[in-house]
A and B are shown apart, each in its own frame.
Chain A
Amino acid sequence: MPMRLFLSLLLLAAMPLTARAAACDVPAEVMSAARPMPAVARAIQARNLRVLVLGSGSITGPGASGPDAAWPARLEAMLAQRHPGMRVELTVRGGRGVTVQDHLALLREAQTTQAPSLVLWQAGTVEAVRGLDPDEMGEAMMQGLERIRRAGADIIVMDQQYSRFLRANANIEPYRDKLRLVAAAAGAALFRRYDLMQHWVETGALDMERTARADRAGATDRLNDCLARAVAELIAQGVAEAR
């Protein structure tokens, strides 16, 4: 910790405040959560990858410059870029205030159409903010994860966004614990968005709460891009482990 503090202080001193745009690096412990993703590996081989994103407010990329800047859209573009010639079809379901219970219904609907190879499930923010029962959230999510597993898709669970405001004013820990255990119980990878965003805040790479109004849209785009990059990285790792 002191070493990291020292380094970030050094970084702060070396850069003028306006250009404090350190790279949004992804620490090893975030990547260590990767799990083998055989379904995605098969889909890449077949040159046709279908991804379903379930989530709440952040999947629509609020505050970003446009719909193409939201992290799911960025992820779609990055996956297509990494695998030239592959068809990537990414569907987004959910939105502001959507809970895990709502996701269950959306999941049923989405699975009747075309089965995805990968489900990216972002959850836990709405529940924490409203103080809903973390155990009920966990049970509902277990059901959904079981369903996805039976359908043969790989899963990534994504946790909450970090902010000082959320950390201070919501009892976030029980929900983070539950997501972690539920993901482990389903054999799913956990994308630790909370830890990652906190890491970016602490290293001065990206701090939404301390960004001036004029720079906000640009910073939001960058946040979405960084998140998409890290998820793409996690998927690549999972595919590599499946081989």
Chain B
Amino acid sequence: MSDDSKPLGKPGRDPRADLCRGLALWMIVVNHTPGNWLGGFTLKNFSLTDATEVFVLLAGYAAAFAYAGMADRQGWAPAAASLGARIAKLYVAHIFLLVVFTAQVGFSAATLDRAVYLDELALDPFAEQPYRTLLEALLLRFQPAFLDILPLYIVLLAILIPGLWLRRRPWLVLGLSLGLWLGARALGVNFPRWQEGGWFFNPLGWQVLFVLGFLLGQSVRGVASLPLPPRNALVTAGAVACLLIGLLVMIASEAQPWLLEPLPLWVPGFLASIDKTSLHPARLVSILALAYLVGAYLPRDGWVVRAAWLRPFILMGRHSLPVFCFGILLSFMARLLLEADDGWGMQVLANALCLAALVAVAWIGEWSRATTRRRDPVLPAAAGSH
């Protein structure tokens, strides 16, 4: 591949979004591998928001380019059909990952025949009710630990099918979305889980972030949407203040808990009330502040998006579906490695393997896209070749 003068992707595609998405995908893999030392350096340690928010916001952003663009050119039905095909792919990927996950947990549980861990052994519901668990998993009412982002993504894309109808009425879309988010929070409504409670990521809450990402994408595409916030000192100061407060909160509540002791009890009480399940406003504000600062101050063609060492992450962001699914699979394997041995040698090995595999998946995706393009007589060869 040649680096000179070649724009990354088709015009209109923002390499900053791909970069952020690539980094978020990598952080998701790291955070899904408990015991990983790198997990202490991901976004969630420094901010109220984490890689999940970045991923969902940018999923909405990318959906504007892919599906709203398609609906504008070809009409609603082909775009809806394309969304349906995507959802089907995600569902199959989820079920495949579930099977792999179940095999892994079953294997780990079989080696843990220690009576001390009486409660912990309940982690494997397949051992007790295999058929019922399988059915509930197919209905997305049983989601094992760490397999909760794909079901959310599936529902978000499904909401977009009727949502595309309203794509030319951005204020209505925003109003409906905010109403749904606030209503779900106020009434405590969530998608049901099999045994009790609701989904770990409540789609009724998280859709607001997806929709905001979608509207952002629409603005960037230059079609009817909300006005983008201006780049000025006031908004910047607000965004920086939000992130600084978040940083202080994380330091006080995780790294240096003694900082909380002299504070009045309502401060930790408020922190304890910040939920991830239905996207607490503090989390939403944090991700929007972060997105504003990246959008306003990271130049589109600056050194960051040109840096060779960041290029793998841009590629990962461009091929997010295979990278995401493969990443979850990799995190299962890394988990087995770290369960067997979590010394520094294994830490380095597991992380190097994961990152190399993710880059390889992205690179293969890029290569195969380039080869299909080249065969396509309508489009000029988009990717350079040696």
* Majority-rule SS of A interface residues: helix
CB-based contact B116/A185 at 8 Å: no
Is B118 at the interface (CB under 8 A from chain A)? yes
Question: Which residues from B are CB-within-8-Å of A129?
Answer: 119-120, 122-123
Is A169 at the interface (CB under 8 A from chain B)? yes
Question: Which residues from A are CB-within-8-Å of B115?
Answer: 62-63, 216, 220
Chain B 76-94 near chain A by CB (<8 Å), digits 1 or 0: 0000000000000000000
What are 14 A-B pairs with beta-carbon distances under 8 A? A5-B344, A33-B257, A96-B119, A132-B197, A136-B197, A161-B120, A164-B339, A165-B117, A165-B123, A166-B117, A177-B254, A185-B269, A186-B265, A209-B112
CB-based contact B108/A169 at 8 Å: yes
Is B272 at the interface (CB under 8 A from chain A)? yes
CB-based contact A135/B145 at 8 Å: no
Question: Which residues from B are CB-within-8-Å of A163?
Answer: 112, 114, 117, 120
Cα separation A56 to B119 with both chains bound (whole Å): 7
Question: Which residues from B are CB-within-8-Å of A166?
Answer: 117, 120, 123
CB-based contact A138/B272 at 8 Å: yes
Within 8 A of B (CB), among A76-102: 96-97
Show the binding face of B for A, using Cβ within 8 Å: 34-35, 104-105, 108-109, 111-112, 114-120, 122-123, 143-146, 193, 195-198, 200, 253-254, 257-258, 260-261, 265-266, 268-269, 271-273, 275-277, 335-336, 338-339, 342-344
Interchain Cβ contacts within 8 Å, total number = 143
Chain A 217-236 near chain B by CB (<8 Å), digits 1 or 0: 00010010000000000000
CB-based contact B272/A178 at 8 Å: yes
Question: Which residues from B are CB-within-8-Å of A185?
Answer: 265-266, 268-269, 271-272
Question: Which residues from B are CB-within-8-Å of A211?
Answer: 114
Cα separation A166 to B117 with both chains bound (whole Å): 9
Question: Which residues from B are CB-within-8-Å of A172?
Answer: 34
CB-based contact A168/B338 at 8 Å: yes
Question: Which residues from B are CB-within-8-Å of A97?
Answer: 119, 122
Is A48 at the interface (CB under 8 A from chain B)? no
Return the chain B residue nearest A165 by Cβ: B112
CB-based contact A32/B258 at 8 Å: yes
CB-based contact A133/B277 at 8 Å: yes
CB-based contact A131/B144 at 8 Å: yes
Return the chain A residue nearest B336 by Cβ: A168
For B105, give its contact among A139, A169, A220 (CB under 8 Å): A169
Given A58-B116, A131-B145, A167-B35, 17 new contacts (CB under 8 A): A5-B343, A125-B120, A129-B120, A129-B122, A131-B143, A131-B193, A134-B276, A161-B117, A163-B112, A163-B120, A165-B339, A166-B117, A169-B145, A170-B120, A171-B146, A182-B272, A220-B115
Is A57 at the interface (CB under 8 A from chain B)? yes
Show the binding face of A for B, using Cβ within 8 Å: 5, 32-33, 56-58, 60, 62-63, 96-97, 125-126, 129-136, 138-139, 142, 161, 163-174, 177-178, 180-182, 184-187, 208-209, 211, 216, 220, 223
Query: Top 5 A-B pairs ranked by shortest CB distance?
Result: A63-B115, A57-B118, A184-B268, A181-B272, A185-B269
Question: Which residues from B are CB-within-8-Å of A96?
Answer: 118-119
CB-based contact A223/B116 at 8 Å: yes
Q: How far is the CB of B97 from chain A (nearest CB, A)?
A: 14
Question: Which residues from A are CB-within-8-Å of B344?
Answer: 5
Question: Which residues from A are CB-within-8-Å of B104?
Answer: 169
CB-based contact B335/A168 at 8 Å: yes
CB-based contact B269/A142 at 8 Å: yes
Q: How far is the CB of B1 from chain A (nearest CB, A)?
A: 37
Question: Which residues from A are CB-within-8-Å of B335?
Answer: 168-169
Q: How far is the CB of B49 from chain A (nearest CB, A)?
A: 14
For A165, give its contact among B109, B265, B269, B271 (CB under 8 Å): B109
Question: Which residues from B are CB-within-8-Å of A5?
Answer: 343-344
For B116, give its contact among A130, A174, A220 (CB under 8 Å): A220
Return the chain A residue nearest B254 by Cβ: A177
Return the chain A residue nearest B252 by Cβ: A184
Cα separation A181 to B265 with both chains bound (whole Å): 10
CB-based contact B118/A58 at 8 Å: yes
Return the chain B residue nearest A190 by Cβ: B257
Highest count of chain A CB atoms <10 Å: which of B108, B111, B115, B272: B272
Given contacts A32-B258, A133-B198, A168-B35, contact A216 B143 (CB under 8 A): no
Cα separation A173 to B277 with both chains bound (whole Å): 14
Return the chain A residue nearest B278 by Cβ: A135
Cα separation A139 to B112 with both chains bound (whole Å): 32
For A180, give its contact among B197, B257, B261 (CB under 8 Å): B257
For A181, give its contact among B123, B193, B253, B258 (CB under 8 Å): B253
Cα separation A208 to B118 with both chains bound (whole Å): 13
CB-based contact A208/B114 at 8 Å: yes
Cα separation A133 to B339 with both chains bound (whole Å): 25
Cα separation A94 to B83 with both chains bound (whole Å): 49
CB-based contact A133/B197 at 8 Å: yes
Q: How far is the CB of A182 from chain B (nearest CB, A)?
A: 5
For B119, give its contact among A125, A181, A208, A216 (CB under 8 Å): A125
Return the chain A residue nearest B340 by Cβ: A164
Q: How far is the CB of A205 from chain B (nearest CB, A)?
A: 15
Q: How far is the CB of B297 from chain A (nearest CB, A)?
A: 31
Question: Which residues from B are CB-within-8-Å of A58?
Answer: 116, 118-119
Return the chain A residue nearest B188 by Cβ: A136
Q: How far is the CB of B200 from chain A (nearest CB, A)?
A: 7
Given contacts A5-B344, A168-B339, A171-B146, contact A131 B200 (CB under 8 A): yes
